[in-house]
Amino acid sequence: MNKKLSQEKLPEFLNNKKIQTSIAIIVVMQLSMIILGFFANFGIGLALLVILIILLFLLYNLLKKLTIENKKYISDLAFRIKRGEQEALIKMPIGILLFNENLQLQWINPYLQSHLGYQEVLGKQLEDVDSELATLVKESQDSGLKIAKWGDKFFQIIIQKDIRVVYLMDITEYAIIQSKYEDEKIVVGNIFVDNHDEITQGMTDRNISNLDNFITTQLSNWAKLHHVYLKRITEDRFIVMMHYNSLEKMEEEKFSIIDQIRERTSKQNSPLTISMGIAYGSDDLSELSKLAQSNLDLALGRGGDQVVVKGYEIEPRYYGGKTNPMEKRTRVRSRMISQALQELMKASDQIFIMGHKYPDLDAIGSSLGIRRIAEMNNKEAWVIVNPDEFSKDISKLMSEVEKENQISRYVISPSVAEKMITVNSLIVLVDFHRPSMGIAPNLISLTNKVVVIDHHRRGEGFPNNPALVYIEPYASSSAELITELFEYQSEEADPINKIEATALLGGIIVDTNSFSLRTGSRTFDAASYLRSCGADAVLIQRLLKEDKETYLLRSHLIETIEFITENIAVAIGEEGSIYDTVVAAQTADTMLSMSNVDAAFVITKRSDKKIGISARSLGEINVQVIMEQLGGGGHLSNAATQLEDMTIQEAKEWLRDVIVKKKEEE
């Protein structure tokens, strides 16, 4: 029996040594009992022997049956596995492709064959069979592409380079679900009518109602077209909710609704503009609403008449802002800012004032103006400057300031300020709002009280939790904003002196290019007040005078003028030469006076080894948006940026690419 059984493959469990030993012991014990039975009684021994034979027979048949069943089970399982593999190769939505080192097809499974059409493909180049599939395979090998669209389906691509096999798993259904999820993400936005109060002043109730109905109708039609929920919450505010796919369509149209409203209300002699803050990228509606409001604040800080779209941890995208902002600040706002500033000054142990790096007359004049306001409120204030960053005109001005001991003793360096500043100190940032642009950015983090007074359109960088923000892109200069604050100071305090008034007026003159750009009625009011305080226009002219070398440098830059488009010109300095920032700015201003130049860019190397770009325009071309693409900012008609780790030629090519791309988008 054992020999016969050995010819059959025993079930796996019977090959276990412990089981075989146990069976042998049982058999030996049974034989011993039979022998003892014969000794005791022949009949008993015989009966036991018969029982043993019967048991062995039954055991033999059982083992034989188990062996047959086991073999049958294994054979059936092997067949089913093999059949399953074959069915998987043929019917499952997985394409399998084998190729050689020359990208020639060696074998494909039927599923992939159905996608390629029933053509003869073996031995052919993959590129000849299907160029799109060949591109996907190549990109997957080079860049590790995991998911791609081929034809009208989406596939997950897996490549085993060692055996040159490509697996294409059809994930179209899941890709559609994911796409639907992305398209239906919630987007929240705020809409604000920028100058509603200013336009409706003096209107009759009927005209105001007609204007409000017109705005509501325009926005409602726009919302209906894009499947947007729109709700008016006040006379000049709306909220919107939509899906992300609606936002994508709006961005493709570049939010043309803001242009439509501006143009149509302008024809009605009521030129209203709107601004929007749009937020997405979070499932928390509360967080989205906060981000939407922050984006709206950014749009308004940049001058209004534009849209800011920003998701979490995503750079903002700007639309609109094609026109110069209209003056809409009021005397009431100036008075409120003045009172708030006085309260902050009185509650602080020390006051520090800081302009931007490489300051101009506006930054220095504004700093001196704030210092005087602090003194009018019986507080000492310190102006932070870095003499190493002075241009020639600022060096001349500071020489005049040094003659005034009552002022010069309050002018300190960043290192001195760092030793003096405390958590309860107030730091006032003038003529800039991006911390990285400050003379001493580290000081901003050393105090809990920060005030921002600026006239530039607001950018992405901004101090955390400022105590007071006074950003008015409608003003010609920060000097203009600060000059208006003097009207609300105590009449008993010592008035502004001659050198302070001169510095403030110089800031206005420089930023308006002698009152030719961004000049409103309030600008002339501020200039008139400063003249009445003794501002010396002759001294300003002396400060702004240039020597022969500067004149020749500017002339040399103008000689390099090249037109990027028919109305956009660029001039560049030599790679090995250092140019003063004032020279570059003056060159850009001069270029604007030439025929067919609506926007001018001057690229030079600065004393800090960075590449500086000064940008100017007559207002039709938004140079601020162009400079923001290069990491800078400013106004629609006056902007700049600084670039590191590149040559002047590289900066020029980058600028050209940005301008051409913007032109194509328009």
The amino acid at 10: L
Tell me what pLDDT residue 304 has.
80
pLDDT tier at 5, thresholds 50, 70, 90: very low
Tell me what pLDDT residue 553 has.
85
pLDDT tier at 411, thresholds 50, 70, 90: very high
Q: What tens digit of pLDDT does each residue of 370-393 get?
A: 999 999 999 999 999 999 888 888
Tell me what pLDDT residue 154 has.
83
The amino acid at 46: L
CATH class of 331-544: alpha beta
Tell me what pLDDT residue 170 has.
80
Give span(s): CATH 3.30.450.20, the chain.
92-179
Q: Does 247 score more than 90 pLDDT?
A: yes
Tell me what pLDDT residue 104 has.
80
Section 300-325 average pLDDT: 79
Tell me what pLDDT residue 127 has.
76
Residue 496: count of CB within 10 angstroms of its CB: 25
Section 438-446 average pLDDT: 91
Q: Does 146 score more than 80 pLDDT?
A: no
Q: What tens digit of pLDDT does each residue of 23-59 get?
A: 778 778 877 887 877 777 777 778 877 887 887 788 7
What are the tokens at 1?
A: 């029996």
Q: What tens digit of pLDDT does each residue of 323-375 get?
A: 655 555 566 678 888 888 998 999 899 999 999 988 989 999 999 999 999 99
Q: Does 150 score more than 50 pLDDT?
A: yes
Q: Does the pTM of the predicted model rise above 0.85? A: no
CA–CA dist 204, 208 (Å, integer): 6
Section 602-624 average pLDDT: 88
CA–CA dist 512, 514 (Å, integer): 5
Give span(s): CATH 3.10.310.30, the chain.
548-665
Tell me what pLDDT residue 543 has.
86
Question: What is the average pLDDT value for the chain, to the nearest integer?
Answer: 84
The amino acid at 361: L
Q: Does 424 score more than 80 pLDDT?
A: yes
Q: Which residues pair with 602 in a beta bridge?
A: 571, 614
Section 519-542 average pLDDT: 89
Q: Decide: helix, strand or coil at residue 28.
A: helix
Supply the DSSP string of 37-105, one letter for each residue.
HHHH-HHHHHHHHHHHHHHHHHHHHHHHHHHHHHHHHHHHHHHHHHHHHHHHHHHSSEEEEEE-TT-BE
Q: Which residues pair with 303 in a beta bridge?
A: none
Topology of 548-665 in CATH? Diaminopimelate Epimerase; Chain A, domain 1 (3.10.310)
Most confident of 232-246, 307-321, 323-337: 232-246
pLDDT tier at 415, thresholds 50, 70, 90: very high
pLDDT tier at 571, thresholds 50, 70, 90: very high
- Measure the CA angle with vertex 547, ends 542 and 553; round to 5°: 135
Q: Which residues of 508-524 are buried (b: 16+ CB within 10 A; e: fewer)?
A: bbbbbbeeebbbbebbe
Contact 277, 298 (CB under 8 A): yes
Contact 70, 85 (CB under 8 A): no
Q: Does 113 score more than 50 pLDDT?
A: yes
% of the chain with per-residue pLDDT over 70: 93
CA–CA dist 331, 636 (Å, integer): 24
Give 250's contacts (C-beta < 8 A, 6+ positions apart).
226
Contact 165, 95 (CB under 8 A): no
Q: In a 10 Å sphere around its CB, with 0-12 CB exposed, 13-18 middle and 19+ buried, how is residue 232 labelled?
A: middle
Section 547-571 average pLDDT: 88
Q: Does 73 score more than 80 pLDDT?
A: no
Tell me what pLDDT residue 64 has.
78
Tell me what pLDDT residue 6 has.
47
Q: Give the right CATH number for 92-179 from 1.10.150.20, 2.60.40.1930, 3.40.720.10, 3.30.450.20.
A: 3.30.450.20
Q: Does 81 score more than 50 pLDDT?
A: yes
pLDDT tier at 7, thresholds 50, 70, 90: very low
In three-state form (DSSP H/G/I as H, E/B as E, the rest C), the secondary structure along 603-641 is: EEECCCCCEEEEEEECCCCCHHHHHHHCCCEECCCEEEE
Give span(s): CATH 3.90.1640.10, the chain.
331-544
Q: Does 14 score more than 70 pLDDT?
A: no
Supply the DSSP string of 540-581, one letter for each residue.
HHHHH---HHHHHHHHHHHHT-EESSSSEEEEE--TT-B--H
Tell me what pLDDT residue 316 has.
84
Q: Does 1 score more than 80 pLDDT?
A: no
Handedness of CA 179, 182, 185, 191 (dihedral sign): negative
What are the tokens at 587?
A: 């060159």
Comparing CA positions, the residue from 428, 486, 479 lying closest to residue 455 is: 479
Which value, to the nearest 10 degrees, does the dihedral of the CA atoms of residues 5, 6, 9, 12 take? 90
Contact 171, 154 (CB under 8 A): yes
Comparing CA positions, the residue from 258, 185, 187, 272 lying closest to residue 222 is: 258
Q: What tens digit of pLDDT does each residue of 456-474 get?
A: 877 777 888 888 889 888 7
For residues 53 and 651, the model is more confident at 651
